[in-house]
Amino acid sequence: MINITVLQDSAGHCRGYSAEGHAGYADSGYDIICAAVSVLAQNTANAIERFTPDTIEGEADEEKGSLRVSFPDGVSGESELLLKAMISGMEDIADRYGSRFIRIRYEEV
């Protein structure tokens, strides 16, 4: 199962996220859920680095299938929009394939 954690402040604004695990939907290399989640999580981090003024801190482990991203200096409006788009995509995947393969939780920081 893939576990997505969205870190939010008390106003509901995203302050970071993590994704870890493997969906187990199909064999390695053919798992469309893992591929979709990986693309969303990695592309969001890359887009924030390339197209916003924000600084992100991240850590990835391909073997564990994990990615963690945080914002040590705060989140701009541009990054917040990218994060909302990523979360929407993750929620769509969870709705389509179910909690057996992907789980999203929100944690206040």
What token pair was written down for 19? 């994704």
Q: What is the mean pLDDT of each run of 10 residues along the chain (109 residues)?
A: 96 94 93 96 97 96 90 95 97 96 96
- Look-up of token digits 């969303």: 40
Note the pLDDT of residue 2.
Answer: 97
Classify burial at 76, counting beta carbons within 10 Å of its beta carbon; exposed 0-12, middle 13-18, buried 19 or more.
middle
pLDDT for res 65: 85
Contact between 14 and 75 (Cβ < 8 Å):
yes
Q: What are the backbone angles phi and psi of residue 98, rounded to the nearest 5°?
A: 95, 165
pTM of the model: 0.92
- Cα 55 to chain centroid distance, Å, stands at 17
β-pair partners for 108: 8
Is domain 2-108 classified as CATH 3.40.50.360? Answer: no
